[in-house]
Chains A and B, each alone.
Chain A
Amino acid sequence: MEHRPVVIIGAGPAGLTAAYTLSKAGRKSIVLEKDQTVGGIARTVNYKDYHFDIGGHRFFTKVESVEKIWKEVLGQELLRRNRLSRIYYNKKFFYYPLRPLNALFGLGIWNSLLIFFSYVTSQLFPSKEEKTFEQWVSNRFGKRLFKTFFKTYTEKVWGISCDRISAEWAGQRVKGLSLMTALKNALLKNGNGRPDKNNVIKTLIDEFDYPKLGPGMMWRAMVDTIRQKGSQVRLGRDVSGIRWSGNKVEALEIQSNGQMELLHSSHFISSMPLREAIQKFKPAVPPEVLQAANDLKYRDFLTVALIIKRPALFPDTWIYIHDPEVKVGRIQNFNNWSPFMVSDPDKTCLGLEYFCFEGDRLWTMPDNALIDLAKKELERLGLADEKDVEDGTVVRMPKAYPIYDSTFRQSLDIVRRFLGRFDNFQPVGRNGMHKYNNQDHSMLTAMLSAENILGANHDLWTVNIEEDYIEELHAKPGQETAASELVPGIFYRMDKFGLATAVGSVCGLLVFLATVWLVIRGGPAGTYLQLLNQYFFGYTVTLKGAFIGLTYSFFWGFLFGWLFAYLRNFFMSYYIYRIKRETELLTFRDFLDLF
């Protein structure tokens, strides 16, 4: 039984990584993909030798093991690219991450002042409740900055009002610079509490790796390796049923060319959307679980790729479009992602991204109408002339983003509890776990699921929640203590009573012993020690005085120790609070990139 191939649903980054990890450990697997291509939402589409990405997938990660796989699979084919991106807002372009002078002139001095005062107000009087995305962002950056740079774009992406998006989404996404990382940096690196800009910001924001021919290149290479090791990747296989009994999933029903096949295994990994997976369980899951799964929502996405007969239209890798007058949300310039993506260097391939719901007006628009819309909007934004567009195509990507609305947490918990009963079925990846993971975290969940099959005991749901956990998991032996245990330990609070008692006892003992010593030996020092009675009323250099001195010294030592511990805790808390705030403020630099 143990040697049956592991069955993996989905050939996106998660599914393929699971198969890749297993194959490296000598374990065979069968990957089932519904589409005729691999990569899931991180695929690369090839249209007349113009390659374009569905959404723009930068390759950067803090997870060492994921980076190792990328380098292992693609090696020299991975390019290091500089990033340039801007925000189009109020008919002006703003560099993003913001550059102070550019932002000041773009917004105007008056508006900038209002933003500053709004920020100060949010710091002094933050919203006590922090349940929605709007509250979360306003508390950190101020209401005015929220309205300027977050509201329109976020609502375009999610299709719902910011006060209906859960704060948990923002909290989970803004994990780039955790408090612990900042504290570690404060202690170990530059000592000023700010994360090391050269290492963190530069790496995570200004540069990224990218495969020569887009992310699809990575997944195709991975498929080749998986197949070479004797595992299978079967395309065009739709899982129509998941058969289960007790605490085991027993088999999958597979549809292919109108035929039904039954695939048994002892281990299953699923990256198919969680809602779909639950709907496919046979026998049907309890009604409350089904209801919870049905309540999980997704945002869909379509890209209109336009080929324009002009080289170097603009220098950006991508542009965020905040303007509510146009429907497009983001524009990718694939020439700038990688020059190898475009077959004719005299032309430019742009990807205009529209966020929508499957079945809505935008989703159901004919391709020609969408291409026309994209052309018009491009001209309206002043980025290209409509007449220069020589060709275009549309790619629709359903379930691109799991929605974190106000009810998702409750529904997800019910589904998780149900899935918790299975010891041979592991959901992985962004849609598989209904979790807004980037591809690196999706890959990590898959790697951990494979390791679980090989005997490990990881909790996949902690990925992207506990950043430190991931760092620890993949740290070298011994690093964990130094980085995660020792450093936070320094910031623990001091026990006031403990220190007060310790200092009091030692002070009391010192005065007691000094007095007794002089009582026994005598000498001129006694006269001077006697002066203590100006503070310790009743103290004398006698045996009785030694006890009085002990009591007084203990009292004052106790008070001193307590006050020391209190002030130390107070200033340490303030220090941690300040680092936390600074860290949160720094996240503004790449906040929009997290969408």
Chain B
Amino acid sequence: MVAKRVPNEEKLLREVLRLNGKILGLVLGILLGLAIFIGTNWLLIMGTITPGEKHVVGPHLQLLSQFFLGYRVSFLGSIIGFFYGFALGTLCGSLIGWIYNTIVDLKSK
């Protein structure tokens, strides 16, 4: 008559971790956003000198503008890049969380 319950220690062995897609997305978003923001500003502070050529800052990072429209290697660009990075990270994190949880749910059925 008494409701059966699973002891916590048994749960620990049996249960599978669920990911919180929103939180994972937020974390990945912040990390990617910050990476672009810091990476851009780092290049602005340090600069790049190619001997015998015109002084160009961040020619490779500038290529991101092909994906992140409006981005450039400048302080304003670093803020734009932060938002793009944040959006992409959030999307990827949420997607990882959603796919992971869906598979876990399917396997536990």
Q: Which residue of A lies closest to B16 (CB)?
A: A495
Contact A502 B12 (CB under 8 A): no
Contact B66 A457 (CB under 8 A): no
B35 at the binding interface (Cβ < 8 Å) = no
* In the complex, chain A residues whose CB is within 8 Å of the CB of B55: none
* In the complex, chain A residues whose CB is within 8 Å of the CB of B1: 423, 457
* In the complex, chain B residues whose CB is within 8 Å of the CB of A235: none
Contact B66 A499 (CB under 8 A): no
B58 at the binding interface (Cβ < 8 Å) = no
Main secondary structure of the interface of B (DSSP, over half): helix
Cα distance A576–B98 when bound, in Å? 27
Contact A488 B12 (CB under 8 A): yes
B109 at the binding interface (Cβ < 8 Å) = no
Interface 0/1 of B44-55, CB less than 8 Å to A = 000000000000
Main secondary structure of the interface of A (DSSP, over half): helix
A3 CB, nearest partner CB in chain B, Å: 23
* In the complex, chain A residues whose CB is within 8 Å of the CB of B104: 495, 498
Cα distance A466–B95 when bound, in Å? 38
**Which interface residue of A179, A459, A492, A503 has the most chain B CB atoms within 10 A?**
A492
Asked whether A494 and B17 contact (CB < 8 A) given A488-B12, A510-B92, the answer is: yes
A524 at the binding interface (Cβ < 8 Å) = yes
- Which of A178, A494, A506, A518 contacts B92 (CB under 8 A)? A506
B-contacting residues, A163-192, CB 8 Å: 178-180
Contact B12 A506 (CB under 8 A): no
A475 at the binding interface (Cβ < 8 Å) = no
Q: Which residue of A lies closest to B14 (CB)?
A: A492
- Which of B11, B12, B15, B100 contacts A498 (CB under 8 A)? B100
A16 CB, nearest partner CB in chain B, Å: 25
Q: Which residue of B lies closest to A471 (CB)?
A: B8
B102 CB, nearest partner CB in chain A, Å: 8
* In the complex, chain B residues whose CB is within 8 Å of the CB of A502: 95-100, 103
B-contacting residues, A80-116, CB 8 Å: none
Cα distance A576–B12 when bound, in Å? 10
- Which of B16, B63, B98 contacts A494 (CB under 8 A)? B16
Cα distance A576–B8 when bound, in Å? 13
Cα distance A491–B1 when bound, in Å? 31
Cα distance A524–B63 when bound, in Å? 7
B107 CB, nearest partner CB in chain A, Å: 7
A528 at the binding interface (Cβ < 8 Å) = yes
* In the complex, chain B residues whose CB is within 8 Å of the CB of A492: 11-12, 15-18
- Which of B12, B60, B96, B103 contacts A497 (CB under 8 A)? B103
Interface 0/1 of A518-535, CB less than 8 Å to B = 100101110010000000
Contact B60 A489 (CB under 8 A): no
B-contacting residues, A467-481, CB 8 Å: 468-469
A-contacting residues, B62-109, CB 8 Å: 63, 66-67, 92, 95-101, 103-104, 107
A574 CB, nearest partner CB in chain B, Å: 14
Cα distance A514–B88 when bound, in Å? 12
Contact A495 B103 (CB under 8 A): yes
Asked whether A180 and B9 contact (CB < 8 A) given A492-B15, A528-B60, A528-B63, the answer is: yes
A61 at the binding interface (Cβ < 8 Å) = no
A458 at the binding interface (Cβ < 8 Å) = yes
- Which of B67, B95, B107 contacts A514 (CB under 8 A)? B67
Q: What's the A-B contact tally at a CB cutoff of 8 Å?
A: 88
B-contacting residues, A451-469, CB 8 Å: 457-459, 466, 468-469
Q: Which residue of B lies closest to A466 (CB)?
A: B7
Cα distance A506–B93 when bound, in Å? 9
* In the complex, chain B residues whose CB is within 8 Å of the CB of A491: 12
A523 CB, nearest partner CB in chain B, Å: 5
* In the complex, chain A residues whose CB is within 8 Å of the CB of B95: 502, 505-506, 509
B16 CB, nearest partner CB in chain A, Å: 5
B-contacting residues, A507-556, CB 8 Å: 509-510, 514, 517-518, 521, 523-525, 528
- Which of A488, A509, A523, A524 contacts B11 (CB under 8 A)? A488
- Which of A457, A495, A506 contacts B96 (CB under 8 A)? A506
Contact A495 B8 (CB under 8 A): no
Contact A523 B66 (CB under 8 A): yes
* In the complex, chain A residues whose CB is within 8 Å of the CB of B56: none
* In the complex, chain A residues whose CB is within 8 Å of the CB of B97: 502
Contact A525 B107 (CB under 8 A): no
* In the complex, chain A residues whose CB is within 8 Å of the CB of B96: 499, 502-503, 506
B35 CB, nearest partner CB in chain A, Å: 15
Q: What are some 17 contacts across the A-B interface (CB < 8 A)?
A: A457-B3, A469-B5, A488-B8, A488-B11, A488-B15, A489-B17, A492-B17, A493-B16, A494-B17, A495-B16, A498-B100, A499-B96, A503-B96, A506-B95, A510-B92, A521-B66, A525-B63
19 additional contacts, CB 8 Å, given A505-B95, A506-B99, A509-B95?
A180-B8, A488-B11, A488-B15, A489-B17, A490-B17, A492-B11, A495-B16, A495-B107, A498-B101, A498-B107, A499-B100, A501-B99, A501-B100, A503-B96, A518-B66, A521-B66, A523-B66, A524-B66, A528-B63
What 4 pairs between A and B have smallest CB-CB spacing? A502-B99, A498-B103, A459-B2, A492-B17
Name B's A-contacting residues (CB within 8 A): 1-3, 5, 7-9, 11-12, 15-18, 60, 63, 66-67, 92, 95-101, 103-104, 107
